[in-house]
Amino acid sequence: MDAIQALSQIEEQREFEFTADDFTYIQEFMLRETGISLSERKTSMVYGRLARRLRRTGITNFRDYFARVNSDMDERIAFVNSLTTNKTQFFREKHHFDFLTNTMVPEWQNQKKRRIRIWSAGCSTGEEPYTIASTLAASGLLTPSYDCKILATDLDTQVLEVGRNGTYGIEASKAIPAAMLHHGFIRGKGKKQELLKVKPSVQQAITFKQLNLTAAWPHKGPLDAIFCRNVMIYFEKDMQQQLIFRFWEKLGSGGILFIGHSESIGQMGSRFENLGQTMFRKP
């Protein structure tokens, strides 16, 4: 289905006129500014999310709204936030964290490695970096004997605020193994008993930062692990390969790249050792 067909299906129920040219403008903006590729299948989703922005701003047509986006940095951020997808949970693709616990941590300990640097790229609302940090805490690495730091980045500023806060519904605890739950989280009391709070010692290991993956990256030293899972599916193939090459450059020798179950590293496979289950080691 192309953009025109998709638009015609919602024509009767849409509140604002939304043309094929409007959708093309949004596609080109997101690809240019963020690297995200929006297919025609996303037409209804794009309209629905941006219609909320038009209502909030009081603007009655997309042409005027695009002018606001180009002249108002706050609205530009809200525009991008509206069109990014943030689906995550604690211990998603648990085998990655089993590998961290059972293979990576023992290797670091045998090497007497004290400096650990991990990047959660596309961290969404924080479940992934807190999963990493609680895993390290349960393994004894979040102690003064180690220098462990996790950088958690995302394009969406709103989800980063959720991550910084470190508070989740108690139902999230069902996905967290007992050891990690004990070392990483505190259940609220009284009126807050339905909330799960990340322990301060775990929060302190993580820095949350807004970052566009297609722009410059802030890392100064080599990384021991990069988690970029279910993020590259939103990029075109050429951009995916560019990102994987940049990940390879940032990883230190023996560093591990974790990607999503529906993703692959394509031509960059010759530069990595494939460990299976979407885990790749830089020799």
Where b means 16+ CB within 10 Å and e means fewer, 244-263 reads: beebbebbeebbbbbbbeeb
User: Is residue 68 annotated as part of the catalytic site, yes or no?
Assistant: no
Pairing of strands 115-121, 223-228: parallel
Residue recorded with tokens 């460990």: 275
CA distances to 63, 105, 275 from 98, rounded to whole Å, are 50, 10, 13
Active-site residue identified among 154, 156, 224, 229 = 154
User: Is residue 154 annotated as part of the catalytic site, yes or no?
Assistant: yes
DSSP per residue over 174-237, as a string?
GGS-HHHHHHHEEE--GGGTTEEEE-HHHHTTEEEEE--TTS-----S-EEEEEE-S-GGGB-H
Active-site residue identified among 49, 68, 164, 281 = 49
Report the catalytic residues. Answer: 49, 154
